[in-house]
Amino acid sequence: MIDPNYRQGDAKSDAFATNAMLNPAPEQTIPDGPTIPTVAYQMVKDETFAQTQPRLNLGTFVTTYMDEYATKLMNEAINVNYIDETEYPRVAVMCQKCINIVANLWNTPEKNRWKAGALAIGSSEACMLGGIAAWKRWIERRKKAGKPYDKPNFVISAGYQVVWEKFATLWNIEMRQVPLSTEHVTLDIDEAIKMCDENTICVVAIQGVTWTGLNDDVEALDAALEKYNAATGNELCIHVDAATGGYILPFLFPEKKWDFRLKWVLSISTSGHKFGLVYPGLGWVVWKDKQYLPGDMSFTVDYLGAEVTQVGLNYSRPAAQILGQYYQFIRLGFEGYKQVQYNSLTIAKYLHDQLALMPEFVNYSDEVPNPIVVWRMKPEVQSTAKWTLYDLQDKLQMKGWMVPAYAMPVNIENMVVMRVLCKQGFSRDMCDQLINDIKSAVEELNALEYPTTTRIAMEKNIPLKNKGRFNHTGK
Protein backbone atom coordinates (compact mmCIF):
# COMPACT_ATOMS: atom_id res chain seq x y z
CA MET A 1 0.00 0.00 0.00
CA ILE A 2 1.31 3.45 -0.97
CA ASP A 3 1.94 5.78 1.95
CA PRO A 4 -0.43 8.76 1.34
CA ASN A 5 1.95 11.11 3.16
CA TYR A 6 4.67 10.10 0.74
CA ARG A 7 2.40 10.91 -2.21
CA GLN A 8 1.44 14.28 -0.74
CA GLY A 9 5.05 15.07 0.03
CA ASP A 10 7.00 14.64 3.25
CA ALA A 11 10.62 14.51 4.33
CA LYS A 12 11.07 11.05 2.75
CA SER A 13 9.45 11.94 -0.58
CA ASP A 14 11.23 11.75 -3.87
CA ALA A 15 10.23 14.90 -5.73
CA PHE A 16 9.13 13.07 -8.87
CA ALA A 17 7.07 10.52 -6.91
CA THR A 18 4.67 13.08 -5.41
CA ASN A 19 1.19 14.03 -6.54
CA ALA A 20 2.40 17.56 -7.23
CA MET A 21 4.32 16.26 -10.23
CA LEU A 22 1.09 14.96 -11.75
CA ASN A 23 -0.48 18.42 -11.75
CA PRO A 24 0.34 21.55 -13.74
CA ALA A 25 2.16 24.36 -11.97
CA PRO A 26 -0.16 27.09 -10.62
CA GLU A 27 -1.07 29.79 -13.10
CA GLN A 28 -4.15 31.65 -11.86
CA THR A 29 -4.44 31.03 -8.13
CA ILE A 30 -2.17 30.26 -5.23
CA PRO A 31 -2.23 26.56 -4.17
CA ASP A 32 -4.50 25.63 -1.26
CA GLY A 33 -1.70 24.33 0.90
CA PRO A 34 2.07 24.25 1.24
CA THR A 35 4.49 22.10 -0.72
CA ILE A 36 7.71 20.70 0.71
CA PRO A 37 10.85 22.61 -0.34
CA THR A 38 12.39 19.87 -2.50
CA VAL A 39 9.23 19.57 -4.60
CA ALA A 40 8.65 23.34 -4.85
CA TYR A 41 12.27 23.83 -5.87
CA GLN A 42 12.06 21.15 -8.56
CA MET A 43 8.82 22.56 -9.98
CA VAL A 44 10.26 26.06 -10.30
CA LYS A 45 13.53 24.71 -11.68
CA ASP A 46 11.70 22.67 -14.31
CA GLU A 47 9.79 25.77 -15.48
CA THR A 48 13.08 27.26 -16.70
CA PHE A 49 14.87 24.05 -17.67
CA ALA A 50 14.42 24.38 -21.43
CA GLN A 51 15.89 27.89 -21.67
CA THR A 52 19.26 28.86 -23.12
CA GLN A 53 22.00 28.54 -20.52
CA PRO A 54 23.10 32.06 -19.48
CA ARG A 55 26.70 31.68 -20.66
CA LEU A 56 25.46 30.60 -24.10
CA ASN A 57 23.23 33.69 -24.32
CA LEU A 58 25.45 35.78 -26.57
CA GLY A 59 22.69 38.31 -27.17
CA THR A 60 22.59 39.71 -23.65
CA PHE A 61 24.90 42.45 -22.45
CA VAL A 62 24.56 41.46 -18.80
CA THR A 63 27.15 39.56 -16.82
CA THR A 64 26.55 35.80 -16.82
CA TYR A 65 29.67 34.73 -14.92
CA MET A 66 31.19 35.69 -11.56
CA ASP A 67 33.60 33.63 -9.49
CA GLU A 68 32.40 31.56 -6.54
CA TYR A 69 33.53 34.07 -3.90
CA ALA A 70 31.67 36.93 -5.59
CA THR A 71 28.57 34.75 -5.90
CA LYS A 72 28.86 33.69 -2.26
CA LEU A 73 29.25 37.29 -1.10
CA MET A 74 26.22 38.43 -3.08
CA ASN A 75 24.09 35.50 -1.90
CA GLU A 76 24.93 36.37 1.70
CA ALA A 77 23.61 39.91 1.13
CA ILE A 78 20.45 38.89 -0.71
CA ASN A 79 18.28 39.92 2.26
CA VAL A 80 19.88 43.36 2.71
CA ASN A 81 17.89 46.39 1.54
CA TYR A 82 20.38 49.08 0.55
CA ILE A 83 18.07 51.92 1.48
CA ASP A 84 18.17 50.93 5.19
CA GLU A 85 21.27 53.08 5.61
CA THR A 86 20.97 53.34 9.39
CA GLU A 87 20.84 49.56 9.73
CA TYR A 88 23.51 48.94 7.09
CA PRO A 89 25.74 52.03 7.20
CA ARG A 90 28.80 50.20 5.90
CA VAL A 91 26.93 49.28 2.73
CA ALA A 92 26.10 52.96 2.18
CA VAL A 93 29.77 53.87 2.59
CA MET A 94 30.78 51.03 0.27
CA CYS A 95 28.36 52.36 -2.34
CA GLN A 96 29.97 55.79 -2.17
CA LYS A 97 33.41 54.20 -2.46
CA CYS A 98 32.26 52.56 -5.70
CA ILE A 99 31.01 55.93 -6.99
CA ASN A 100 34.40 57.45 -6.18
CA ILE A 101 36.24 54.68 -8.01
CA VAL A 102 34.03 54.97 -11.09
CA ALA A 103 34.28 58.79 -11.09
CA ASN A 104 38.07 58.63 -10.96
CA LEU A 105 38.16 56.06 -13.75
CA TRP A 106 36.39 58.74 -15.79
CA ASN A 107 38.85 61.46 -14.78
CA THR A 108 36.55 63.48 -12.57
CA PRO A 109 37.89 66.94 -11.70
CA GLU A 110 35.86 67.03 -8.45
CA LYS A 111 38.05 67.46 -5.36
CA ASN A 112 35.47 66.57 -2.71
CA ARG A 113 36.05 63.37 -0.78
CA TRP A 114 32.71 61.97 -1.91
CA LYS A 115 32.07 62.45 -5.62
CA ALA A 116 28.69 63.44 -7.06
CA GLY A 117 27.04 60.27 -8.25
CA ALA A 118 24.25 57.81 -7.67
CA LEU A 119 23.51 54.12 -7.55
CA ALA A 120 20.96 52.77 -10.03
CA ILE A 121 19.24 49.45 -10.66
CA GLY A 122 20.84 49.40 -14.12
CA SER A 123 22.13 51.72 -16.82
CA SER A 124 18.52 52.53 -17.76
CA GLU A 125 17.80 54.21 -14.43
CA ALA A 126 21.26 55.80 -14.57
CA CYS A 127 20.45 57.29 -18.00
CA MET A 128 17.15 58.60 -16.65
CA LEU A 129 18.90 60.34 -13.76
CA GLY A 130 21.47 61.93 -16.06
CA GLY A 131 18.74 63.13 -18.40
CA ILE A 132 16.57 64.48 -15.60
CA ALA A 133 19.49 66.45 -14.16
CA ALA A 134 20.20 68.04 -17.57
CA TRP A 135 16.50 68.87 -17.92
CA LYS A 136 16.31 70.50 -14.49
CA ARG A 137 19.46 72.54 -15.07
CA TRP A 138 17.97 73.76 -18.36
CA ILE A 139 14.69 74.70 -16.67
CA GLU A 140 16.57 76.70 -14.03
CA ARG A 141 18.53 78.62 -16.69
CA ARG A 142 15.33 79.35 -18.63
CA LYS A 143 13.57 80.60 -15.49
CA LYS A 144 16.45 82.93 -14.65
CA ALA A 145 16.37 84.29 -18.20
CA GLY A 146 12.59 84.75 -18.04
CA LYS A 147 12.06 82.42 -20.96
CA PRO A 148 9.50 79.61 -21.43
CA TYR A 149 10.55 76.10 -20.47
CA ASP A 150 7.63 74.03 -21.76
CA LYS A 151 9.19 72.58 -24.92
CA PRO A 152 12.41 70.77 -23.99
CA ASN A 153 14.17 68.41 -26.38
CA PHE A 154 17.32 66.34 -26.53
CA VAL A 155 19.38 65.04 -29.44
CA ILE A 156 20.60 61.46 -29.86
CA SER A 157 21.46 59.05 -32.66
CA ALA A 158 18.83 56.60 -33.90
CA GLY A 159 21.01 53.87 -32.37
CA TYR A 160 19.71 54.77 -28.91
CA GLN A 161 18.84 52.25 -26.22
CA VAL A 162 15.12 52.05 -25.47
CA VAL A 163 15.43 53.84 -22.11
CA TRP A 164 15.80 57.15 -23.98
CA GLU A 165 12.44 56.62 -25.63
CA LYS A 166 10.99 55.98 -22.18
CA PHE A 167 12.70 59.12 -20.86
CA ALA A 168 11.17 61.20 -23.67
CA THR A 169 7.70 59.75 -23.12
CA LEU A 170 7.58 59.83 -19.32
CA TRP A 171 8.84 63.40 -18.97
CA ASN A 172 7.28 64.76 -22.17
CA ILE A 173 10.61 65.74 -23.70
CA GLU A 174 11.02 65.65 -27.47
CA MET A 175 13.60 63.15 -28.67
CA ARG A 176 15.32 64.34 -31.84
CA GLN A 177 16.91 61.39 -33.61
CA VAL A 178 19.92 61.70 -35.87
CA PRO A 179 19.52 58.89 -38.43
CA LEU A 180 22.20 56.26 -38.89
CA SER A 181 23.27 55.39 -42.41
CA THR A 182 25.83 53.28 -44.20
CA GLU A 183 27.97 56.43 -44.45
CA HIS A 184 27.42 57.54 -40.84
CA VAL A 185 27.44 54.41 -38.69
CA THR A 186 27.67 56.49 -35.48
CA LEU A 187 26.34 59.92 -34.48
CA ASP A 188 26.55 62.39 -37.38
CA ILE A 189 27.80 65.38 -35.42
CA ASP A 190 27.01 67.99 -38.07
CA GLU A 191 23.40 66.77 -38.25
CA ALA A 192 23.20 66.65 -34.45
CA ILE A 193 24.25 70.30 -34.15
CA LYS A 194 21.67 71.30 -36.77
CA MET A 195 18.95 69.76 -34.57
CA CYS A 196 19.97 71.78 -31.50
CA ASP A 197 18.25 74.97 -30.41
CA GLU A 198 17.62 76.98 -27.24
CA ASN A 199 15.24 74.28 -25.98
CA THR A 200 17.80 71.46 -26.23
CA ILE A 201 18.67 70.18 -22.75
CA CYS A 202 21.62 68.02 -23.88
CA VAL A 203 23.10 65.90 -26.63
CA VAL A 204 23.47 62.23 -25.72
CA ALA A 205 26.63 60.51 -26.95
CA ILE A 206 26.78 56.72 -26.79
CA GLN A 207 29.85 54.64 -26.02
CA GLY A 208 28.96 51.14 -27.13
CA VAL A 209 25.83 51.45 -29.29
CA THR A 210 23.67 48.41 -28.57
CA TRP A 211 22.79 47.93 -32.25
CA THR A 212 26.36 48.07 -33.58
CA GLY A 213 28.90 48.02 -30.75
CA LEU A 214 30.46 51.25 -32.03
CA ASN A 215 31.28 54.50 -30.18
CA ASP A 216 30.11 58.02 -30.95
CA ASP A 217 32.98 60.53 -31.28
CA VAL A 218 32.52 62.44 -28.02
CA GLU A 219 35.67 64.53 -28.42
CA ALA A 220 34.52 65.82 -31.82
CA LEU A 221 31.04 66.46 -30.43
CA ASP A 222 32.54 68.43 -27.54
CA ALA A 223 34.52 70.61 -29.97
CA ALA A 224 31.40 71.20 -32.07
CA LEU A 225 29.40 72.21 -28.98
CA GLU A 226 32.17 74.59 -27.90
CA LYS A 227 31.70 76.48 -31.19
CA TYR A 228 27.91 76.24 -30.97
CA ASN A 229 27.73 77.54 -27.41
CA ALA A 230 30.15 80.37 -28.17
CA ALA A 231 28.05 81.44 -31.14
CA THR A 232 24.64 81.14 -29.46
CA GLY A 233 25.32 81.88 -25.81
CA ASN A 234 23.79 78.52 -24.87
CA GLU A 235 25.25 76.09 -22.36
CA LEU A 236 24.41 72.94 -24.25
CA CYS A 237 26.04 69.94 -22.54
CA ILE A 238 26.72 66.27 -23.21
CA HIS A 239 25.44 63.26 -21.31
CA VAL A 240 27.47 60.18 -22.17
CA ASP A 241 25.53 56.92 -22.19
CA ALA A 242 28.51 54.66 -21.50
CA ALA A 243 26.53 51.57 -20.53
CA THR A 244 29.17 49.47 -22.28
CA GLY A 245 32.13 51.74 -22.95
CA GLY A 246 32.34 53.09 -19.43
CA TYR A 247 34.07 49.89 -18.31
CA ILE A 248 36.03 49.31 -21.53
CA LEU A 249 37.60 52.65 -22.45
CA PRO A 250 39.37 53.43 -19.13
CA PHE A 251 41.18 50.09 -19.17
CA LEU A 252 41.93 49.51 -22.86
CA PHE A 253 41.98 53.01 -24.34
CA PRO A 254 42.94 55.37 -21.49
CA GLU A 255 44.34 57.94 -23.91
CA LYS A 256 40.97 58.41 -25.64
CA LYS A 257 39.12 61.54 -24.50
CA TRP A 258 35.43 60.85 -24.07
CA ASP A 259 34.91 61.55 -20.35
CA PHE A 260 35.17 64.44 -17.86
CA ARG A 261 38.38 65.63 -19.50
CA LEU A 262 36.06 67.22 -22.07
CA LYS A 263 34.51 70.59 -21.20
CA TRP A 264 30.87 69.91 -21.99
CA VAL A 265 30.62 66.35 -20.66
CA LEU A 266 28.70 66.98 -17.42
CA SER A 267 27.33 63.50 -16.66
CA ILE A 268 28.13 59.90 -17.53
CA SER A 269 26.10 56.75 -16.90
CA THR A 270 27.17 53.13 -17.09
CA SER A 271 26.03 49.61 -16.34
CA GLY A 272 27.80 47.76 -13.55
CA HIS A 273 26.06 44.58 -14.61
CA LYS A 274 27.48 44.61 -18.13
CA PHE A 275 31.22 44.99 -18.52
CA GLY A 276 31.37 46.09 -14.89
CA LEU A 277 31.31 42.30 -14.34
CA VAL A 278 28.51 42.16 -11.74
CA TYR A 279 25.30 40.16 -11.92
CA PRO A 280 22.19 42.29 -12.68
CA GLY A 281 20.93 44.79 -11.76
CA LEU A 282 23.41 47.56 -11.17
CA GLY A 283 24.09 50.93 -12.73
CA TRP A 284 26.03 54.09 -11.89
CA VAL A 285 25.71 57.74 -12.86
CA VAL A 286 28.32 60.38 -12.05
CA TRP A 287 28.27 64.15 -12.49
CA LYS A 288 31.32 66.26 -13.24
CA ASP A 289 30.80 68.20 -10.03
CA LYS A 290 28.18 68.46 -7.31
CA GLN A 291 26.96 71.73 -8.84
CA TYR A 292 25.60 69.81 -11.83
CA LEU A 293 23.37 67.58 -9.69
CA PRO A 294 20.23 69.64 -8.95
CA GLY A 295 19.52 69.78 -5.24
CA ASP A 296 15.86 68.85 -5.63
CA MET A 297 16.84 65.48 -7.09
CA SER A 298 18.02 64.40 -3.63
CA PHE A 299 15.12 63.18 -1.52
CA THR A 300 15.40 63.00 2.26
CA VAL A 301 12.85 61.01 4.24
CA ASP A 302 12.46 59.88 7.83
CA TYR A 303 12.86 56.12 7.48
CA LEU A 304 13.16 53.66 10.34
CA GLY A 305 13.94 56.45 12.79
CA ALA A 306 16.57 58.30 10.79
CA GLU A 307 16.85 60.68 7.85
CA VAL A 308 17.84 58.95 4.61
CA THR A 309 18.90 60.94 1.53
CA GLN A 310 19.07 59.32 -1.87
CA VAL A 311 19.08 60.10 -5.58
CA GLY A 312 17.12 57.63 -7.67
CA LEU A 313 13.85 56.65 -9.27
CA ASN A 314 13.69 53.49 -7.19
CA TYR A 315 13.68 53.35 -3.41
CA SER A 316 14.17 49.90 -1.95
CA ARG A 317 16.86 48.05 -3.85
CA PRO A 318 19.21 45.11 -3.24
CA ALA A 319 22.58 45.70 -1.62
CA ALA A 320 24.09 42.51 -3.03
CA GLN A 321 25.18 44.14 -6.30
CA ILE A 322 27.06 46.86 -4.42
CA LEU A 323 29.03 44.20 -2.57
CA GLY A 324 29.61 42.41 -5.87
CA GLN A 325 30.96 45.56 -7.50
CA TYR A 326 33.24 46.46 -4.60
CA TYR A 327 34.50 42.86 -4.51
CA GLN A 328 35.35 42.99 -8.21
CA PHE A 329 37.21 46.28 -7.78
CA ILE A 330 39.28 44.76 -4.95
CA ARG A 331 39.64 41.31 -6.51
CA LEU A 332 40.64 42.42 -10.01
CA GLY A 333 42.16 45.84 -9.54
CA PHE A 334 42.96 47.99 -12.56
CA GLU A 335 45.23 45.37 -14.13
CA GLY A 336 42.73 42.58 -13.56
CA TYR A 337 39.93 44.52 -15.24
CA LYS A 338 42.31 45.39 -18.07
CA GLN A 339 43.18 41.73 -18.60
CA VAL A 340 39.53 40.60 -18.58
CA GLN A 341 38.47 43.33 -21.02
CA TYR A 342 41.54 42.67 -23.19
CA ASN A 343 40.66 38.98 -23.47
CA SER A 344 37.03 39.78 -24.29
CA LEU A 345 38.06 42.26 -27.00
CA THR A 346 40.70 39.90 -28.41
CA ILE A 347 38.15 37.09 -28.75
CA ALA A 348 35.70 39.53 -30.34
CA LYS A 349 38.32 40.54 -32.92
CA TYR A 350 39.06 36.87 -33.59
CA LEU A 351 35.36 36.15 -34.22
CA HIS A 352 35.14 39.28 -36.36
CA ASP A 353 38.05 38.06 -38.51
CA GLN A 354 36.68 34.52 -38.82
CA LEU A 355 33.27 35.73 -39.96
CA ALA A 356 34.96 37.93 -42.57
CA LEU A 357 36.45 34.77 -44.11
CA MET A 358 33.01 33.23 -44.67
CA PRO A 359 31.70 33.96 -48.20
CA GLU A 360 28.16 34.58 -46.97
CA PHE A 361 28.91 37.40 -44.51
CA VAL A 362 30.33 40.87 -44.19
CA ASN A 363 31.02 42.63 -40.90
CA TYR A 364 28.98 45.74 -40.11
CA SER A 365 32.17 47.68 -39.38
CA ASP A 366 35.88 47.20 -39.95
CA GLU A 367 36.65 48.25 -36.37
CA VAL A 368 35.84 46.47 -33.11
CA PRO A 369 36.11 49.10 -30.35
CA ASN A 370 34.06 47.05 -27.88
CA PRO A 371 33.71 43.27 -27.37
CA ILE A 372 30.67 43.27 -29.65
CA VAL A 373 30.60 41.68 -33.12
CA VAL A 374 27.90 42.60 -35.63
CA TRP A 375 27.61 41.15 -39.12
CA ARG A 376 25.15 40.77 -41.99
CA MET A 377 24.72 38.78 -45.16
CA LYS A 378 26.49 40.09 -48.23
CA PRO A 379 23.89 41.79 -50.47
CA GLU A 380 24.73 39.54 -53.42
CA VAL A 381 24.30 36.45 -51.23
CA GLN A 382 21.09 37.69 -49.62
CA SER A 383 19.54 38.31 -53.05
CA THR A 384 19.86 34.64 -54.04
CA ALA A 385 19.86 32.71 -50.75
CA LYS A 386 16.81 30.70 -49.69
CA TRP A 387 17.30 31.69 -46.06
CA THR A 388 17.81 34.71 -43.83
CA LEU A 389 19.76 35.45 -40.66
CA TYR A 390 16.60 34.71 -38.69
CA ASP A 391 16.91 31.12 -39.88
CA LEU A 392 20.53 31.03 -38.79
CA GLN A 393 19.41 32.29 -35.37
CA ASP A 394 16.98 29.35 -35.15
CA LYS A 395 19.64 26.84 -36.19
CA LEU A 396 22.07 28.12 -33.56
CA GLN A 397 19.38 28.07 -30.90
CA MET A 398 18.98 24.34 -31.52
CA LYS A 399 22.63 24.02 -30.46
CA GLY A 400 21.97 26.02 -27.30
CA TRP A 401 23.30 29.38 -28.53
CA MET A 402 21.30 32.59 -28.38
CA VAL A 403 22.68 34.73 -31.20
CA PRO A 404 20.05 37.31 -32.12
CA ALA A 405 19.14 38.51 -35.58
CA TYR A 406 17.39 41.87 -35.81
CA ALA A 407 16.57 44.71 -38.17
CA MET A 408 18.49 47.97 -37.83
CA PRO A 409 16.80 51.25 -36.80
CA VAL A 410 14.90 53.73 -38.97
CA ASN A 411 16.57 54.78 -42.22
CA ILE A 412 18.41 51.44 -42.53
CA GLU A 413 15.61 49.20 -41.24
CA ASN A 414 15.87 46.90 -44.26
CA MET A 415 19.30 45.76 -43.06
CA VAL A 416 19.22 42.63 -40.88
CA VAL A 417 22.25 41.86 -38.74
CA MET A 418 23.40 39.38 -36.10
CA ARG A 419 25.30 40.22 -32.94
CA VAL A 420 27.53 38.43 -30.43
CA LEU A 421 28.60 39.81 -27.06
CA CYS A 422 32.01 38.47 -26.08
CA LYS A 423 31.83 38.76 -22.30
CA GLN A 424 33.81 37.30 -19.44
CA GLY A 425 33.07 33.56 -19.50
CA PHE A 426 33.12 33.34 -23.32
CA SER A 427 36.46 31.66 -24.02
CA ARG A 428 38.41 31.15 -27.25
CA ASP A 429 37.39 27.48 -27.17
CA MET A 430 33.70 28.43 -26.88
CA CYS A 431 34.20 30.90 -29.72
CA ASP A 432 35.61 28.14 -31.92
CA GLN A 433 32.61 25.96 -31.06
CA LEU A 434 30.30 28.79 -32.08
CA ILE A 435 32.15 29.34 -35.37
CA ASN A 436 31.93 25.63 -36.20
CA ASP A 437 28.21 25.62 -35.39
CA ILE A 438 27.70 28.69 -37.61
CA LYS A 439 29.54 27.00 -40.49
CA SER A 440 27.55 23.81 -40.03
CA ALA A 441 24.24 25.71 -39.92
CA VAL A 442 25.12 27.75 -43.01
CA GLU A 443 26.02 24.57 -44.89
CA GLU A 444 22.59 23.13 -44.07
CA LEU A 445 20.82 26.35 -45.03
CA ASN A 446 22.69 26.63 -48.33
CA ALA A 447 21.50 23.13 -49.22
CA LEU A 448 17.81 24.05 -48.92
CA GLU A 449 15.73 23.31 -51.99
CA TYR A 450 12.94 25.77 -51.17
CA PRO A 451 12.99 29.21 -49.50
CA THR A 452 12.19 29.47 -45.80
CA THR A 453 9.16 31.32 -44.47
CA THR A 454 11.33 34.25 -43.37
CA ARG A 455 12.85 34.43 -46.84
CA ILE A 456 9.40 34.45 -48.45
CA ALA A 457 8.27 37.14 -46.01
CA MET A 458 11.32 39.24 -46.82
CA GLU A 459 10.60 38.97 -50.55
CA LYS A 460 7.03 40.14 -49.91
CA ASN A 461 8.31 43.03 -47.74
CA ILE A 462 6.53 41.68 -44.69
CA PRO A 463 8.16 43.28 -41.61
CA LEU A 464 10.36 40.84 -39.74
CA LYS A 465 11.86 43.27 -37.23
CA ASN A 466 12.82 41.26 -34.15
CA LYS A 467 10.26 38.57 -35.17
CA GLY A 468 8.61 39.24 -31.82
CA ARG A 469 11.35 37.26 -30.10
CA PHE A 470 14.27 39.56 -29.51
CA ASN A 471 14.80 43.01 -28.09
CA HIS A 472 17.92 44.45 -29.74
CA THR A 473 18.95 46.08 -26.47
CA GLY A 474 19.85 42.66 -25.10
CA LYS A 475 18.33 43.53 -21.76
Phi, psi at 156, each rounded to 5° = -155, 155
pLDDT at 390: 96
Whether pLDDT at 255 is above 90: yes
Cα gap 54→402, rounded to integer Å:
9
When pLDDT is cut at 50, 70 and 90, the band that residue 398 belongs to is very high
Asked if residue 118 has pLDDT above 50, the reply is yes
Least confident of 181-185, 247-251, 462-466: 462-466
Please state, rounded to an integer, the average pLDDT across all residues of the chain.
Answer: 90
Question: pLDDT tens, 274-291?
Answer: 999 999 999 999 999 999
Q: What angle do CA 66, 67, 73 make, to 5 degrees?
A: 90
**pLDDT one-digit tens code per residue, 312-324:** 787 788 899 999 9
- Note if the bond before 333 is cis, omega within 30 degrees: no
The arithmetic mean of pLDDT across residues 352-377, rounded, is 97
pLDDT of 468 higher than 50: no
- What number of other Cβ atoms are within 10 A of residue 146's Cβ? 6
- Compute the half-sphere exposure of residue 360: CA atoms within 13 Å on the CB side of its CA: 18
**Signed CA dihedral, 131, 137, 138, 143: sign only:** positive
| pLDDT digit string, tens, across residues 366-395 | 999 999 999 999 999 999 999 999 999 999
Angle at 425 between CA 344 and CA 54, to 5 degrees: 125
